[in-house]
Amino acid sequence: MAEVSLNVEAPLEAVWAVLADGWSYAGWVVGASHIRDVDTGWPEPGTRIHHSVGPWPMVVQDVTEVVRCEPSHLLELDARLWPAGAARITFTLRPRSESLTEVRMVESVVRGPSAVLPNVVQDLMLTPRNKETLQRLNALARGRAAPFD
């Protein structure tokens, strides 16, 4: 299980707004290259983002489904990328101040061929990617929180 966290320089509401915008995922999730569709009601449990992953022309089309959602606090996803498998990803938000939000991201491969890899190998593969994912989330949340001129 790969676990990373970052203090995002934005209020909780701005961070949640990025997570709750399924159309934004290709902008901050490392590896996501295109969002084809987002189910109405996202991020309610059972709704999905229909995404493409990878560089063109080797694009894989799959879906990510919401498993659990506690608005402004927690988002748990089942992210599929067949034939590699599927991962359970949980984002937990905690306000540190009015303008700082701790985001914790936990990911573990739960199905498919990649699930047989030892946890230490999964961590080595996922941790750098997930740290960059949180940096990108930070940038988008900061942009949403910035006042308009």
CA atoms within 13 A on the CB side of 88: 8
User: What is the count of structural domains for the chain?
Assistant: 1
For the stretch 52-100, pLDDT in tens is 988 888 888 999 999 999 999 999 999 997 777 899 999 999 999 999 9
Q: How confident is the model at residue 148 (pLDDT cuts 50, 70, 90)?
A: low
Instruction: Show the domain range for 28.
Output: 2-145
How many whole angstroms separate alpha carbon 65 and alpha carbon 47?
6
Q: Which of 19-23, 97-101, 110-114 has the lowest mean pLDDT?
A: 110-114
The terminus-to-terminus CA distance of the chain in angstroms comes to: 42
Per-chain mean pLDDT for the chain: 93
Q: How confident is the model at residue 107 (pLDDT cuts 50, 70, 90)?
A: very high
- Token readout for 52 is 């493409």
Give the 3-state secondary structure of residue 105.
strand
How many whole angstroms separate alpha carbon 18 and alpha carbon 10?
11
43: domain CATH number?
Answer: 3.30.530.20
DSSP H helical ranges for 1-149: 12-19, 25-28, 119-145
